[in-house]
A and B are shown apart, each in its own frame.
Chain A
Amino acid sequence: MTYFPEEVVEHIFDFVGSHRDRNTVSTVCKAWYQVERLSRRTVFVGNCYAIRPERVMARFPGIKSLSVKGKPHFADFNLVPYDWGGFALPWIEAAARRCPGLEELRLKRMVVTDDGLELLARSFPNFKSLVLISCEGFSTDGLAAIATYCRGLRELDLQENEVEDHGCQWLSFFPDSCTSLVSLNFGCLKGEVNGGALERLVARCPNLRSLKLNRAVSVESLNKILARASHLVDLGTGSFAVDHRTDAYHTLMNSFPKFKSLRNLSGFWDASPCCLRAVYPVCTNLTVLNLSYAPAIQGDDLIKIICLCFKLQKLWVLDSIGDKGLAVVASTCKELQELRVFPCDIYGAGTTSVTEEGLLAVSSGCPKLNSLLYFCYQMTNAALITVAKNCPHFTRFRLCILDPGKPDPVTNQPLDEGFGAIVRSCKNLRRLSLSGLLTDQVFLYIGMYAEHLEMLSIAFAGDSDKGMIYVLNGCKNLRKLEIRDCPFGDIALLKNVAKYETMRSLWMSSCDITLGGCKALAAKMPRLNVEIINENEETDEFEENLSDLHKLEKIYVYRTVAGPRNDAPDFVWTL
Chain B
Amino acid sequence: MPTTETGKSSTESEVSGLDYEETQLTLAPPGGSKSEPEKKRGFSESIDLRLGRPALEAHAKDPASGSSHGPVSGAGKSPASKAQVVGWPPVRSFRRNALRSCTYVKVAVDGTPYLRKVDLDAYAGYQQLLTALEEMLSCFTARDYTNERRLVDPVNGAEYVPTYEDKDGDWMLVGWWMFLLHARD
The answer on a CB contact under 8 Å between A344 and B85 is: no
Interface residues of B in 77-105 (CB under 8 A from A): 84-96, 98-99, 102-103
Contacts of A350 in B (CB 8 A): 21-22, 30
Q: Which residue of the partner chain A has the closest CB to B93?
A: A78
Q: Which residue of the partner chain B has the closest CB to A239?
A: B10
Residue A293 at the B interface, CB < 8 A? yes
> What separation, in Å, do the CA atoms of A147 and B145 have in the docked complex?
63
Q: Nearest Cβ distance between residue A276 and chain B, in whole angstroms? A: 12
> What separation, in Å, do the CA atoms of A357 and B13 have in the docked complex?
30
> What separation, in Å, do the CA atoms of A462 and B39 have in the docked complex?
11
* B98 partner, pick from A293, A349, A512, beta carbons under 8 A: A293
Residue A412 at the B interface, CB < 8 A? yes
Q: Which residue of the partner chain B has the closest CB to A159?
A: B94
Interface residues of A in 12-53 (CB under 8 A from B): none
Residue B14 at the A interface, CB < 8 A? yes
Q: Nearest Cβ distance between residue A438 and chain B, in whole angstroms? A: 11
Residue B163 at the A interface, CB < 8 A? no
> What separation, in Å, do the CA atoms of A269 and B100 have in the docked complex?
12
Interface residues of A in 174-216 (CB under 8 A from B): 188, 215
Choose the segment among B60-68, B109-117, B132-140, B147-155 that binds chain A (4+ C-beta atoms closer than 8 Å).
Answer: B60-68
The answer on a CB contact under 8 Å between B36 and A487 is: no
Residue B35 at the A interface, CB < 8 A? yes
The answer on a CB contact under 8 Å between B41 and A293 is: no
The CB with the most chain A CB atoms within 10 A, among B35, B65, B86, B99, is that of B99
The answer on a CB contact under 8 Å between B92 and A346 is: no
The answer on a CB contact under 8 Å between B99 and A348 is: no
The answer on a CB contact under 8 Å between B24 and A349 is: yes
Contacts of A293 in B (CB 8 A): 95, 98-99
Q: Which residue of the partner chain A has the closest CB to B102?
A: A295
Interface residues of A in 141-174 (CB under 8 A from B): 160-162
The answer on a CB contact under 8 Å between A349 and B30 is: yes
The answer on a CB contact under 8 Å between A512 and B68 is: yes
> What separation, in Å, do the CA atoms of A375 and B14 have in the docked complex?
22
Contact with B along A275-309 (1 / 0, CB 8 A): 00000000000000000110110100000000000
> What separation, in Å, do the CA atoms of A160 and B95 have in the docked complex?
8
Knowing A296-B14, A296-B17, A350-B22 are in contact, say whether A459-B88 is a contact too (CB < 8 A).
yes
The answer on a CB contact under 8 Å between B98 and A269 is: yes
The answer on a CB contact under 8 Å between A486 and B94 is: no
Contacts of B13 in A (CB 8 A): 241, 270, 272, 296
Knowing A272-B13, A486-B67 are in contact, say whether A351-B19 is a contact too (CB < 8 A).
yes
The answer on a CB contact under 8 Å between A77 and B92 is: yes
Contacts of B94 in A (CB 8 A): 134, 160-162, 188
Residue B121 at the A interface, CB < 8 A? yes
Q: Which residue of the partner chain A has the closest CB to B17?
A: A298
Contact with B along A405-417 (1 / 0, CB 8 A): 1110000100000
Contacts of B35 in A (CB 8 A): 412
Residue B160 at the A interface, CB < 8 A? no
Choose the segment among A116-124, A396-404, A541-549 that binds chain B (4+ C-beta atoms closer than 8 Å).
Answer: A396-404
Contact with B along A46-68 (1 / 0, CB 8 A): 00000000000000000000000
* A77 partner, pick from B17, B25, B26, B87, beta carbons under 8 A: B87
Residue A561 at the B interface, CB < 8 A? no
* B91 partner, pick from A243, A343, A378, beta carbons under 8 A: A343
The answer on a CB contact under 8 Å between A485 and B41 is: yes
Residue B162 at the A interface, CB < 8 A? no
Contacts of A377 in B (CB 8 A): 29-31
B-side residues, CB < 8 A to A, are 9-11, 13-14, 17, 19-22, 24-31, 35-36, 39-44, 47, 65-71, 84-96, 98-99, 102-103, 121
Q: Which 7 A-B pairs have the closest CB atoms?
A: A487-B66, A349-B30, A403-B31, A77-B87, A295-B102, A160-B94, A270-B10
